[in-house]
Amino acid sequence: MEPESPAEEMLLAALAEGKPCEVGKERPEKATQTNTIRAAFLRHLLIDPKARGDVQLQGAWIEGEVDLSFATVRPFLLENCCIPDGIYGPGATCTTLALPGTHTGPLTLDGATIAGGVFLRNGFRAQGEVRLLGARIGGQLDCSGGAFHNQKEYALNGDGMRVEGNVFLCDTRNNKGEVLSHFTAEGEVNLAGAQIGGQLDCSGGMFCNPGKRALTLQGVRVEQSFMLRGADIQGTLNLDAAHVRDMCDAPDSWPTNISLDGFTYDRIVGGAPTDAKTRLEWLGRQPPKHHTTDLRPQPWRQLIAVLRTMGHDEAAREVGIDLRRRQWDALLTAWWNKGAYISYPLAFLARWGWWAPMCNYGMEPVRLVAIMILAWFVGGSFYADAPWLDDDACWPFVYSLELMLPVLSLGQAGRACVPEGLEWEALTWLQTIFGWAGALTLTAIATRLVRRD
């Protein structure tokens, strides 16, 4: 294909010499005779097996849609270019794709295989959906400092893609940590089911899709760290069934709505909060029904397990108490809504008369042991003044202990050691029932019939 403009002649000459082609230093605002390159001409150079070297182009206006569908494409760098009609390359095979600073229309790379990296960074801007459905990227996906605009639809859609390296959806910073360009997405960023061999960094990014999903990571697998610090998420963060090795987040990045059902992680790192108060606030941002009527306990149990592994036993205990409290709330609400007016008051009494005050929902068995010791001592003190039938054979404190330990015989019940009087008989029955209830509760906790995680 013959060149038809000065820019096309420059590109053809630069490619022959193996040099970059600089049509302009800045990104063009409009098409002119000197900066325009036809999409068909660019495509010809990208897929022509006779052409030599990589295509490196700066400051050009690409006229028309660049169609690379199912083609084998040489590595190319389009820097500070303008491609209003976008790039269409489903099923394409390429070594490297780099569009730093380029403004483009929709970018479609469904099922593409890219041996190296994909670089949509440093001022890159897409007007329309960027699609990477099922794409295979051998290097990294670097969108740091990029802008993706497709309001109320998918801004960046990487459903089911596989990236061997890192994925950056974050701000671009210099060596001093100063922000050079912000990552912004207007519309949903969807990485559902993606496999990421490195880390996923969303630090400082803005994900804007109010009232809908802003950042969807459902079922994603991140082999290294998931970083979420300084981000602005306007919409829902969906982490259902996702797994990351290390979680490094901060409360300033938590949106109002977070979905955590099935989300697993091995550690909380990088100074991310591990105190119970902050993490319970995090759990409380799930959909209201997920921590009330339709309680999903997995996020609590996952957090408890990680906190215990990291040595934060007290924080894990507080999270466990919160889970037990919510489970009782859900149970009582469900029975009330079903009209179980007999079961409801019994459960209400069991909760507030036993589980909550005696052992803090099974999370503090030592409290119950202390209360039982106190009950034994108080009972023994009362029995010291009881009218025994045989004072020599009856020992008040031993008798009190035998009543409270249902499987233990200390020789008191077989003797004439039953105090006379209705009030004493009522006291012995009360102490016996309390002892049985306490022993059964402690046995259930010890044998994990009552879960503590």
Q: Say if residue 95 is in the same domain as residue 235.
A: yes
CA atoms within 13 A on the CB side of 369: 8
pTM: 0.84
Given 64, 91, 109, the domain boundary residue is: 64
Q: Is residue 251 part of a domain?
A: yes
Q: Is residue 337 part of a domain?
A: no
Given 301, 329, 357, the domain boundary residue is: 329
Confidence of residue 2 (pLDDT cuts 50, 70, 90): confident
Q: Say if residue 117 is in the same domain as residue 193.
A: yes
Average pLDDT (362-387) is: 85
CA triple 294-297-298, angle to 5 deg: 125
The rounded distance, in Å, linking the Cα atoms of 62 and 44 is: 13
Q: Say if residue 298 is in the same domain as residue 390.
A: no
Q: Give yes or no for a contact between 43 and 70, defined as CB atoms under 8 angstroms apart.
A: no
Q: Is residue 279 part of a domain?
A: yes
Q: Say if residue 56 is in the same domain as residue 156.
A: no
Confidence of residue 300 (pLDDT cuts 50, 70, 90): very high
Q: Is residue 451 part of a domain?
A: no
Containing structural domain, residue 10: 1-64
The rounded distance, in Å, linking the Cα atoms of 304 and 270 is: 19
What pLDDT is recorded for position 449?
58
Q: Is residue 349 part of a domain?
A: no
Task: State phi, psi for 22 to the nearest 5 degrees.
Answer: -105, 95
Q: Say if residue 187 is in the same domain as residue 279.
A: yes
Q: Is residue 355 part of a domain?
A: no
Q: Say if residue 50 is in the same domain as residue 197.
A: no
Q: Say if residue 16 is in the same domain as residue 164.
A: no
Name residue, tokens 């016996």.
432
Contacts of 370 (CB under 8 A, 6+ apart): none
Q: Is residue 360 part of a domain?
A: no
The rounded distance, in Å, linking the Cα atoms of 396 and 349 is: 31
pLDDT > 70? residue 295: yes
pLDDT > 70? residue 386: no
Q: Is residue 406 part of a domain?
A: yes
Average pLDDT (64-93) is: 95
> What is the distance of C-alpha 225 from the center of its chain?
12
Q: Say if residue 312 is in the same domain as residue 406.
A: no
Instruction: For residue range 328-357, list pLDDT tens digits in order.
Output: 888 888 877 777 777 778 888 888 888 888
Instruction: For residue range 117-128, list pLDDT tens digits in order.
Output: 999 999 999 999
Q: Say if residue 17 is in the same domain as residue 98.
A: no
Q: Say if residue 188 is in the same domain as residue 274.
A: yes
Instruction: For residue range 259-290, list pLDDT tens digits in order.
Output: 999 999 999 999 999 999 999 999 999 998 88
Q: Give yes or no for a contact between 396 and 380, defined as CB atoms under 8 angstroms apart.
A: yes
Radius of gyration of the chain (CA): 34
Number of domains in the chain: 3
Confidence of residue 416 (pLDDT cuts 50, 70, 90): very low
Q: Say if residue 273 is in the same domain as residue 372.
A: no
Q: Give yes or no for a contact between 90 and 112, defined as CB atoms under 8 angstroms apart.
A: yes
The rounded distance, in Å, linking the Cα atoms of 422 and 449 is: 37
Q: Say if residue 51 is in the same domain as residue 74.
A: no
Given 48, 64, 80, the domain boundary residue is: 64
Mean pLDDT (the chain, rounded): 89
